[in-house]
Structure 1
Amino acid sequence: MRRTPDGWIEAKLGDIAEEVTVGHVGSMASEYQESGVMFLRSQNIVPHGFDLSDVRHISPEFHARLRKSSLVAGDVVTVRTGKPGATAVIPDGWQAANCSDLVITRPGPNLDSRWLSYYINSVAGGFISNRLVGAVQQHFNVGAAREMDLCLPSMREQRAIAEVLGALDDKIAANRKLAGTAESLLASRFAVLELDVDYGEKACLEEYFELNPKCARPNVEEPVYLDMQKLPTSELLVSDWERRPAKGGARFMNGDTLLARITPCLENGKAGYVDFLEDGEVALGSTEYIVFRSRPAVPRELAYFLVTSSRFRTMAIQHLVGTSGRQRLSANDVAAFTVRRVNSETLMEWGQFASPLVEQLGSLRDENRMLANIRDALLPRLMSGELRVRDAEKVVENVL
């Protein structure tokens, strides 16, 4: 039986929080618009933060009608459906926000928002998984949230725990912002090439890239494997992969660009540039993407910016074929796509600009992966009282 640390208390979330409620539940399709008040859904919440690459918006008038699900700084939001339990805190600086199908916790005077978010993302995972309901699409309901057991330190220690973990997350956020700036510079410089414009002398895409090129089989039992769902939608570099037993699948190497070729992944913009493998290592992945490899004298990074351009996306979706549940883009159709022919000197100049920025992105990604691993190792020990804040601070000081 777990011992409660001295000075800590045990309480139900519903007893200690000011309010535990749920975001709007109901049809929303007719209410979305291009701009307005940010409207969060399950896919916008990730542990400790937000993914706003596909965020929706609603009108200020509709937002005013949904007063119950209106969000303010300090509210803690938890995913109910999809990946139940992922939790984040609404930050300062958001002028207005609303949500659907999220558990909303408004902490009381003895509960720190950031501490609660870290708590739910860590030790409460088992609690949530044991209380999911629904036969097909499971969800975590508000009643179960109110019954969540908290092992609660003093407000001072809650804030100290949140501060030491937050230092790691703040560095992760700063790195992401820096990476976003680098990616914007790369995209702007790519636009100057005018490779994807619809005028000038034309060249088939296959003149620049090999599609689904052959390479050796991985010679290990558990090679790096990249599932279709691990391809990013808003970042250049692939950042989520695993080693697992795999005998077949598409093969790729560093410098390759991977493009999802099925709906809805293609429509959602899933693509990524590979640079995380050891030298000479070959990886496996889903057969449902097309692998692009630059030909000699063509910058390795070029394919990513081409396949994520709006013109290419529009053309690709128009070439989807198939009558069953999923439609697919064929490599043959991609090979026939045309781009503006650009001379080799211009391409080389672009590559000299792009290469160091992509290398910087890789360093930022690797650092964030390390920081997240440290945070996730400290988190349950701090939440249980096994590790004291002063000892965790020493660990954090050594990496920041």
Structure 2
Amino acid sequence: MTSKTARFADLLITPLRSGVTIPKGNRGTGIKMINMGELFRYPRIPDTEMALVDFDYRNEERFLVQPGDLLFARRSLTAEGAGKCAIVLDAPTPRTWESSIIRARLNRDKADPDYYFYMFQAPYGRNLIGGIVEQVAVAGIRSSDLANLRVPWPELAEQRAISSVLRALDDKAAANDRLTASSDQYCAALLQDIVVTGCGKPVKLGDIATVNAASIKPIPGASLRYIDISSVADGRIDWPAASSWDTAPGRARRKVSVGDTIWSTVRPNRCSRALILDDDPLLVASTGFAVLTPRAVGPAFLYECARRNDFVAYLESVAEGSAYPAVRADRFLAAPIPNITAEKREKFESIAFNVRLRAHSSVHENRVLAELRDVLAAELMSGRLRVKDAEKVVEEAV
């Protein structure tokens, strides 16, 4: 790590700013607003679906983000989440950010945004942030403390060299993400083409699959990979690290296997669902999921049916509760499934399952790339690894 440091505020081109607070009446139309959900889901925030807000943002410097802006979580339920850093990527439309997020806009004549993004991701940077986290009802950081934080300040050329190496790994992962998204679109279109050519009255999920077929009991001293609802988005699982059954939550009871579809029973409108393709005996899901196991159909067909709008609409219609609407597991059994011939199902499965496997190989590669990036970032930021040596490692990986 370079011995040269600077106040973080001295590397900015504008002061740190918190985002906007928008009343409910001004939501639903307007421009995109980056919320805490996007900050925690995307370390590199892309052009993705976000909440829309309507307000006067003509003062663009004050109210809009630009590519390269760093965003910090001002508060979090956990100390680890407070001060979490993300970087804004390019987008064709204007975006703002919410009041629980602090925006930092660096002076590019002094500081490379990507370098400081990776620095704050690395252990050294996380330790710096940890030093200013305050724990009251929730964990949080103050803009004034972030501004006064002393951060490493190597020469600009060195900053750019380090960030270029690490960004190459993230760019490869982003390409893999686009492949996965294309796979979703292709499989959805493939099934829709079959449905519109003619099918009978919809059947029920219970006719082709079981729900929560198996549970698992804690194994003292053994390990598990616990899939919590918060770790699943639409088609994506944040891969859980192995942990001990001795400290596992009581909700870790759902046994999952290759080919199962998991669907969150809470807030079905969020579409927290995924297809299990990892053959890992340690995987255990929360009881907050309904585990759908194909019985008379293939896993790709079942998963695609569970992604359809009519399936989601049904779950929303039977959800109970207002603040946290939830679907009872037995309600899944009556969810509508397209009634197509066995021949058409098999044809779909032969194509779609291979598409899903190829996409999953990209997901697995991304896990490896993320681990490599984190290791290289820690070594580069500490000065234990030269950029030239890191470049060789990255060339082999991508």
TM-score (norm 1): 0.87
1:343-400, Cα deviation, whole Å (9 max, x unpaired): 1001001101101110111110011110110100011221122211111111111211
Task: Please report how far the alpha carbon of residue 188 of structure 1 lies from its aligned counterpart in structure 2 after TM superposition.
Answer: 1.3
The 8 Å contact of residues 85 and 121 in structure 1, kept in 2 or not, is answered as: no
Structure 2 residue aligned with 1:385: 383
1:239–1:157 CA distance, 2 compared to 1 (3 A): same
Identity value in percent: 20
2-structure distance, mates of 1:231, 1:253: 16
SS of residue paired to 2:270: coil
1-structure distance, mates of 2:343, 2:7: 66
The 8 Å contact of residues 237 and 272 in structure 1, kept in 2 or not, is answered as: yes
Structure 2 residue aligned with 1:350: 348
Structure 2 residue aligned with 1:164: 165
Structure 2 residue aligned with 1:252: 256
Structure 2 residue aligned with 1:271: 273
2-structure distance, mates of 1:149, 1:371: 30
Which is further off, 21-30 or 364-373?
A: 21-30
2-structure distance, mates of 1:282, 1:302: 25
Structure 1 residue aligned with 2:318: 319
2-structure distance, mates of 1:190, 1:337: 17
Structure 2 residue aligned with 1:309: 308
Task: Please report how far the alpha carbon of residue 74 of structure 1 lies from its aligned counterpart in structure 2 after TM superposition.
Answer: 2.6
2-structure distance, mates of 1:260, 1:240: 16
Structure 1 residue aligned with 2:73: 79
Query: Where in structure 1 are there 5+ consecutive unaligned residues?
Result: none
Task: Please report how far the alpha carbon of residue 339 of structure 1 lies from its aligned counterpart in structure 2 after TM superposition.
Answer: 3.1
Task: Please report how far the alpha carbon of residue 303 of structure 1 lies from its aligned counterpart in structure 2 after TM superposition.
Answer: 2.4
Structure 1 residue aligned with 2:115: 115
Amino acid at match of 2:151: L
2-structure distance, mates of 1:228, 1:31: 29
Q: Say which of 18, 28, 32 aligns to 1:33.
A: 28
TM-score (norm 2): 0.88
1-structure distance, mates of 2:91, 2:203: 47
The 8 Å contact of residues 217 and 253 in structure 2, kept in 1 or not, is answered as: no
Structure 2 residue aligned with 1:286: 286
1-structure distance, mates of 2:362, 2:195: 28
Corresponding pairs, count: 383
SS of residue paired to 1:302: helix
SS of residue paired to 2:180: helix
2-structure distance, mates of 1:20, 1:124: 20
The 8 Å contact of residues 213 and 291 in structure 1, kept in 2 or not, is answered as: yes
1:295–1:218 CA distance, 2 compared to 1 (3 A): farther
SS of residue paired to 2:299: coil
1:201–1:26 CA distance, 2 compared to 1 (3 A): closer
SS of residue paired to 2:75: coil
Query: Where in structure 2 are there 5+ consecutive unaligned residues?
Result: none
The 8 Å contact of residues 45 and 87 in structure 2, kept in 1 or not, is answered as: no
Q: Does 1:13 align with 2:14?
A: no
